[in-house]
Structure 1
Amino acid sequence: MDTQGIGRRIAYWRERRRMTQADFGALMGQSRRWVQSLEAGARQSDPRLSVIERAARVLQVRMEVLLDDTPRVQCIDGVELDAIRTALQRHDVLTGTADDDGAEPLPVAALDRRLHHARAAFQAGHFASLGTLVPSLLVDTNRAAARHEDEDRLAAFRLLSLTLELTEGAAIKYGDTDLALVSGHRAVAAAERSEDPVIMASAARHLADAMTMHGQADAAAAFAIAAAARLESDLRRRGADGLSVLGMLYLKAAMAKATAAASDDTRAAPAARAVTPLLDQADEHANELGVDGNAVWTAFGPTNARLYRVAAHVSLSQGADAVAVAEDIPNPSREALPKERRAHLLTDLARGLTQAGRREEAVDTLLDAEREAKEEVLCRPRTRELVEDLRLLGAGSAEGRLRALAARCGLPG
Structure 2
Amino acid sequence: MDRIQFGRRVAYWRSRRRLSQQEFASLMQRSLRWVEELEGGRRQADPNLSVVTEIATRLGLTLDRLLHDPAVLCPAESEIEAVRAVLQRHDVITGHTDDSCAEPVPVAALRRALVHARTGFQAGHFARLGTQIPALLVDATRAAQRHQGEEQYEAFRLLSLSLELTEAAAIKWGDTELAVVAGHRAVAAAERSEDPVIMASAARHLADAMTSHGQAAAAVAFATAAAERLRPDLVQRGALGLSVLGMLFLKAALAQAAVAEADDHSPDTAARAVPVFLDQADEHADRLGADGNELWTSFGPTNCALYRVAAHVHLSAGADAVTVAAGIPAAALHSLPRERRAHLLTDRALGETQAGMREKAVDTLLEAEALAPEEVRCRPRTKRLVEDLRLLGAGSAEGRLRGLADRCGLPR
TM-score (norm 2): 0.87
Residues 387, 64 of structure 1: CA spacing in aligned structure 2 closer, same or farther, 3 A cutoff? farther
Q: 1:174 to 1:31 in 2, by over 3 A?
A: closer
Q: Paired residue for 2:387?
A: 388
Aligned to 1:412: 411
Aligned counterparts, 1:6-405, within 5 A: 12-14=9-11, 24-25=21-22, 33=30, 40=51, 69=66, 71-73=68-70, 74-266=73-265, 268-405=267-404
- Corresponding letter in the other structure for 2:30: R
Q: In 1, are the aligned partners of 2:9 and 2:66 still within 8 Å (CA)?
A: no
Q: Secondary structure at the match of 1:106?
A: coil
Q: Is the 8 A contact 1:16 1:132 kept in 2?
A: no
Distance 2:316 2:267 in 1: 13
Question: 1:248-275 CA distances to partner (integer Å, 9 max, x unpaired)?
Answer: 0000000001011111433633321110
Percent of residue pairs identical:
63
CA shift digits 1:312-351 (9 cap, x unpaired): 0000000010001000000000000000000000000000
Count of residue pairs brought into register by the alignment? 386
The letter for the 2-side match of 1:143 is R
Q: 1:262 aligns to what SS in structure 2?
A: helix
Residues 11 and 45 (structure 1 numbering): CA distance in 2 closer, same or farther, change over 3 Å? closer
CA 1:9–1:284 in 2, change beyond 3 Å: closer, same or farther? closer
Deviation at 1:116, TM superposition (A): 0.3
Deviations 1:99-133 (A, max 9, x none): 35532011111110110000000000011110111
Q: Give the letter aligned to residue 145 of structure 1.
A: A
Q: For residue 350 of structure 2, what is the amino acid of its counterpart?
A: R
Q: CA deviation at 1:33?
A: 3.3
Preserved contact between residue 260 and residue 267 of structure 1 (Cα < 8 Å): no
Please say if residues 34 and 43 of structure 1, whose CA atoms lie closer than 8 Å, have aligned partners that are also in contact. Answer: no
Give the aligned residue type for 1:312. Answer: A
Structure 1 residues 101 and 320: alpha-carbon distance in aligned structure 2, compared to 1, 3 A threshold: farther
Give the unaligned 5+ runs of structure 2. 15-19, 39-50
Aligned residue in 1 for 2:41: none
SS of residue paired to 2:103? coil
| Change beyond 3 A, Cα 1:350–1:257 | same
Cα distance, 1:75 vs structure 2: 1.2
Structure-2 residue corresponding to 1:3: none
- Alpha carbons of 1:295 and 1:388: their partners in 2 closer, same or farther (altered >3 Å)? same
Q: What letter matches 1:309 in structure 2? A: R
The amino acid that maps onto 1:384 is: K
One-letter code aligned to 1:303: T
**8 Å Cα contact 2:223-2:248 kept in structure 1:** yes
Task: Give the CA deviation at 1:358.
Answer: 0.6
Contact 2:10–2:66, Cα closer than 8 Å, also in 1: no
Instruction: Describe the superposition over 1:263-316 as per-residue Cα deviations: whole angstroms up to 9, x where unpaired.
Output: 143363332111010101111111111110000100000000000000000000
Structure 1 pair 265–155 and aligned structure 2 pair: CA distance change class (3 A): same
Quick one: structure 1 residues 270 and 340, their matched pair in 2 at CA, closer, same or farther if it must change by over 3 Å?
Answer: same
Residue 174 of structure 2: SS of its match in structure 1? coil
Query: Deviation of residue 97 (structure 1)?
Result: 1.4
Q: Distance in 2 between the 1:178 and 1:301 partners? A: 29
